[in-house]
């Protein structure tokens, strides 16, 4: 299985846009240059392991999604269920 940098870049751009961030805002959040964001999103530069992990955390997706485009649906559902359980537990403790 090989990494397709162009597809990775497209996924990163899509995730950024879904958050409503410009490349400049995104670069500031990640503390990297705007030109690096541009190179990543066009597929001219790959992601480091550290940046991949940071993006995964920031966007709340798996690294598999960022690198290979594998569906994150199960991951997102699990995260939402954890949040719901936490809220219900908090409500129950206040009763």
**What sign results for the dihedral spanned by CA atoms 25, 19, 4, 41?**
negative
- Which architecture does CATH list for 5-70? Orthogonal Bundle (1.10)
pLDDT digits (tens, 9 = 90+) for 29-56: 999 999 999 999 999 999 999 999 999 9
**CA separation for the pair 80, 87 (Å, rounded):** 11
Instruction: Give the model confidence (pLDDT) of 17-26 as tens digits.
Output: 999 999 999 9
pTM above 0.85, yes or no: no
């Amino acid at each position: 299985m090989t990494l397709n940098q162009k597809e990775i870049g497209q996924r990163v751009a899509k995730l950024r846009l879904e958050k409503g961030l410009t490349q400049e805002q995104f670069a500031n959040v990640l503390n990297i240059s705007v030109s690096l964001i541009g190179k990543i999103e066009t597929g001219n530069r790959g992601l480091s392991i550290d940046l991949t992990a940071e993006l995964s955390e920031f966007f709340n997706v798996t690294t598999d999604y960022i690198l290979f485009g594998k569906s994150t649906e199960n991951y997102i559902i699990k995260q939402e269920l954890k949040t719901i359980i936490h809220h219900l537990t908090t409500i129950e403790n206040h009763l």
